[in-house]
Amino acid sequence: MTVSEVRKRYLDFFAKRGHAIIPSAPIVPENDPTTLFTGSGMQPLVPYLLGQPHPEGTRLANSQLSFRAEDIEEVGDNRHTTFFEMLGNWSLGDYFKKEQLSWVYEFLTEELKLPKDRLWVTCFAGDETLNLPKDTESAGIWKGLGMPEDHICFCDAKKNWWSRSGTPDEMPTGELGGPDSEIFFDFQTPHDPAFGETCHPNCDCGRFMEIGNSVFLEYIKNTDGSFGKLPKQNVDFGGGLERLTSATNDNPDIFLTDVFSTPLEVLKNRSHKPYKNVERTTSYIKSFRIILDHIRAATFMLASGIRPSNTEQGYILRRLIRRSIREADKLGIKDAVLAEVAESFDTAYTDSYSFMQEAAGLIREELEKEEAQFKKTLSHGMRELKKMGDNIDAFLLFTTFGFPIELTEEIARERGINLDMNTIKAKMKEHQALSRAGAAQKFAGGLADSAKQTVRYHTATHLLLAALRKVLRGEIVQKGSNITAERLRFDFNWPIKLSPEQLKATEDLVNEKILERLSVEMKELPKAEAQKIVGTLSFNLSKYGDIVKVYKIGDFSAEFCGGPHVENTGELGHFRILKEEASSAGVRRIKAMLE
């Protein structure tokens, strides 16, 4: 079956049983500052599970778009993803265990045609110390439905209890919770003894896959630590759509379901590597899976309005994109590929989620921009990592090349090297504090920090301004700038769009001056004397004191500036203009990078 077929069958099945089909909540929670993303179908419904009446009634079902950032490190096997759809149905004080387990069993065996002898379940084993009984009721219902007794397992609260705060002993007074019953599909693959002598549903060897879980919210924790029964008992079911689809196809690799097929072909064609349906194989299979998961997640995030940044949801999005770029590099894909992969996901989901197609142009633009910016950082960082051998300095890689700390940590882990992350984080905090103070004092001109790569971009900005004055033959002045360790953004006065010929001439002139390895010199002079050197085009002269700093780059550029700069232009690398656009009326903006 396809993902769309399984989704439709599920929603139709529960609609026929009196459930209102509600839309997926946004992937970014509304009015919930406690979490960055919606991680399950239950999450948006917590107020109603706690007793608030739902406008659609007491029986609900949907397919919820979900993202779990905590699963990023798990991606790479045949079943874990950060982004997924969660099929869910809920009873708000309506039906309970008998109806729920009977219906879900009917759906699995009649609608999806899963073989009955391939299904296993787990139930709550109870907790005598807390006077919580063994869930023999659920086990009895399963047995009555025809589940073999040896396919019914009992597990402790770590596996078969749900509350927002964890196990029963971790729950605070007034918290709701209850036992749950998980359903597993048996792919009948051989057991790997590396995961224990015997196999069982919760074994990690790959034979079993959890495909659904029914939570029975029936308890509240009292002030004395005991548990009382709720007057209204709720049901919360969640089933991973991709996992259920994999079970219908009797294939444990969710990356071989239909929504991944076209994106996977893109990666196979671009990498010239096959994708083999095996769980533990060469490392490049993991790279395929990471890119497929991360770019699907990134595509939905971008379509939902999230943009790459260094904070909150934008930080997670940027991390997904950067990890994907690194994995593409490991696959030998040197040219940009992420936008092409994302476009395949737009097509795969357009029938179910029309907003994906509507945002296709924006998704492509953002991914192309991020990939272009980070490829250079990745190249520099990987070269330095190779030089460092086992003596990896994550702090130096970040401050000099803008190489992400978490990526360095991942690479070190792959090499079997343990980094002292506490010390690194402490140094990062100190560095950020110094950068903020420095920015307030010295870098009002737009530098994000004082890292070496940022300094290179600062010097490149001076070259760009001088080159624009030469090419455009006009009185060009800086109208603003924003400089990071990954790119420069420069605003200047000009009434119309620059032609391709003007942009190329500007780019070529900057690169010519870089190849000349011009020295960069600083002099402190009285303002009047300095202005004779700099000229009258510098902006906002009133902000400078009587003694000013002048930075000269050979005989090509001279500007008032607080610094810092490189010692000579040969340190910059190759200059490339990425984009030229309008910033405001009469002001143009250039975005550029060093390679």
Q: What is the pLDDT of residues 110-137, one digit of tens each?
A: 999 999 999 999 999 999 999 999 999 9
List C-alpha distances in Å: 231 to 9, 51, 134, 217, 220: 33, 10, 20, 11, 10
Does position 53 have pLDDT exceeding 50, yes or no? Answer: yes
Rounded Cα–Cα distance for residues 355 and 303 (Å): 7
**What pLDDT, on a 0 to 100 scale, did the predictor assign at position 40?**
85
| pLDDT at position 60 over 90 | yes
Distances 210 to 56, 110, 149 between C-alpha atoms, Å: 29, 19, 18
Average pLDDT, the chain: 87
Mean pLDDT, rounded, for 158-172: 88
Helix (H) or strand (E) holding 346: helix 338-349
The pLDDT of residue 540 is above 60:
no
286-290, 520-524, 590-594: segment of lowest average pLDDT: 520-524
Q: How far apart are CA 462 and CA 38, in angstroms?
A: 45
Query: Can you identify the CATH homologous superfamily of domain 3-248?
Result: Bira Bifunctional Protein; Domain 2 (3.30.930.10)
CA 256-307-67 angle, 5° bins: 40
pLDDT of residue 433: 65
Q: What's the pLDDT at 515? A: 93
Residues 6+ apart with CB under 8 A from 168: 127, 130, 132, 157, 161, 177, 221, 227
Task: Find, among 301, 406, 416, the residue nearest to 363 by Cα.
Answer: 301
pLDDT recorded at residue 539: 45
Q: What's residue 536's pLDDT? A: 56
Residues 231-277: pLDDT tens digits? 889 999 999 999 999 999 999 999 999 999 999 999 999 999 988 75
**Which residue is it, tokens 């970014």?**
28
The token pair at 581 is 């656009």
- 114 close to 243: Cβ distance less than 8 angstroms: no
Q: How far apart are the first and last CA of the chain?
A: 46
Given this model, what pLDDT does residue 537 score? 54
Dihedral sign from CA coordinates of 43, 49, 53, 56: positive
Tell me which residue of 441, 442, 412, 415 sits closest to 424, measured CA to CA.
412
- In this structure, what token pair is assigned to residue 34? 């406690």
186: pLDDT strictly greater than 80: yes
The per-residue pLDDT for 484 is 80
Helix and strand counts by DSSP (H, E) for the chain = 18, 16
Q: What is the pLDDT of residue 51?
A: 81
Q: Which residues contact 321 (CB under 8 A, 6 or more apart)?
A: 294, 295, 298, 308, 338, 367, 370, 371, 374
* Residue type at 434 in one-letter notation: L
Between the CA of residue 363 and those of 118, 319, 324, 335, what are the distances in Å? 41, 16, 15, 18
Is the distance from CB of 125 to CB of 156 less than 8 angstroms?
yes
Between 382 and 81, residue with greater pLDDT: 81
Peptide bond into 193 cis (omega under 30): no
Beta strands in 59-110 (DSSP E): 59-67, 83-92
Given a cut of 60, whether residue 431 has pLDDT beyond it is yes
Helix axes 338-349, 283-303, angle to 10 degrees: 60
Q: How confident is the model at residue 351 (pLDDT cuts 50, 70, 90)?
A: confident
Our CA angle for 268, 270, 271, nearest 5°, is: 65
Res 308 pLDDT > 70: yes
Determine how many CB atoms are found less than 10 A away from the CB of residue 174: 10
Report which of 246, 296, 264 is spatially closest to residue 66, judged by C-alpha positions: 296
Phi, psi of 227 (to 5 degrees): -120, 130
Classify burial at 524, counting beta carbons within 10 Å of its beta carbon; exposed 0-12, middle 13-18, buried 19 or more: exposed
Length of the chain: 595
At 439, the pLDDT band (50, 70, 90 cuts) reads very low
Asked whether the predicted pLDDT for residue 362 surpasses 50, the reply is yes
State residue 394's pLDDT score. 83
pLDDT of the residue at 438: 44
Q: d(Cα 153, Cα 123) in Å, to the nearest integer?
A: 6
Judged against a pLDDT cut of 50, whether residue 330 lies above it is answered with yes
**Predicted pLDDT at 475:** 83
Comparison of pLDDT for 276 and 415, the residue scoring more: 415
Token pair 């070496």 in the structure block, residue: 452
By three-state DSSP, how is residue 285 classified? helix
> How confident is the model at residue 381, as a pLDDT?
82
Q: How large is the C-alpha radius of gyration of the chain?
A: 29
How far from chain centre, in Å, is Cα 377? Answer: 19
Fold of 452-594: Threonyl-tRNA Synthetase; Chain A, domain 2 (3.30.980)
Do residues 424 and 418 touch, judged by C-beta distance below 8 A? no
**Which tops the pLDDT comparison, 413 or 147?**
147
**pLDDT at 146 (0 to 100):** 94
503 by Cβ neighbours in 10 Å (0-12 / 13-18 / 19+) ranks as: middle
AA letter at 471:
V
Average pLDDT over residues 378-385: 83
The CA distance from 208 to 151, in Å, is 12
CB atoms under 10 Å from CB of 68, counted, come to 17
Say what the pLDDT of residue 15 is: 97
Give the pLDDT confidence score for residue 402 in this predicted structure: 77
Burial of 535 (0-12, 13-18, 19+ CB in 10 A): exposed
> Which pLDDT value is given to residue 89?
96
* % residues pLDDT > 70 (the chain): 93
As to burial, measured by CB atoms within 10 angstroms (0-12 exposed, 13-18 middle, 19+ buried), residue 132 is: buried
pTM above 0.75, yes or no: no
pLDDT digits (tens, 9 = 90+) for 66-84: 999 888 888 888 889 999 9
* Tokens matching residue 24: 């997926």
Q: Report yes or no: 531 and 537 within 8 Å, Cβ to Cβ.
A: no
Q: Which two tokens stand for residue 108?
A: 């699995």
The 10 Å CB-count burial string (b at 16+, else e) for 55-64 is: eeebbbbbbb
| pLDDT for residue 444 is more than 50 | no
Q: Write the single-letter amino acid at 384.
A: E
Q: Above 50 in pLDDT, residue 326?
A: yes
Residue 170 burial (CB count, 10 A): 14
| Per-residue model confidence (pLDDT) at position 544 | 53
pLDDT band at 445 (very low <50, low <70, confident <90, very high): very low
Average pLDDT over residues 580-590: 87
For the cut 60, the answer to whether the pLDDT of residue 449 exceeds it is no
pLDDT of residue 446: 47
φ and ψ at 256, to 5 degrees? -105, 15
Measured on CA atoms in the order 491, 493, 497, 498, is the torsion positive or negative?
A: negative
What local confidence, expressed as pLDDT, does residue 38 receive? 87
Q: Name residues whose C-beta falls within 8 Å of residue 327's C-beta, 6 or more positions apart in sequence.
A: 286, 287, 290, 291
Contacts of 32 by beta carbon, 8 Å cutoff, 6+ apart: none
Q: Tell me the per-residue pLDDT of 511-520, one tens digit each, with 9 for 90 and over.
A: 999 999 999 9
Mean pLDDT of 317-337: 91
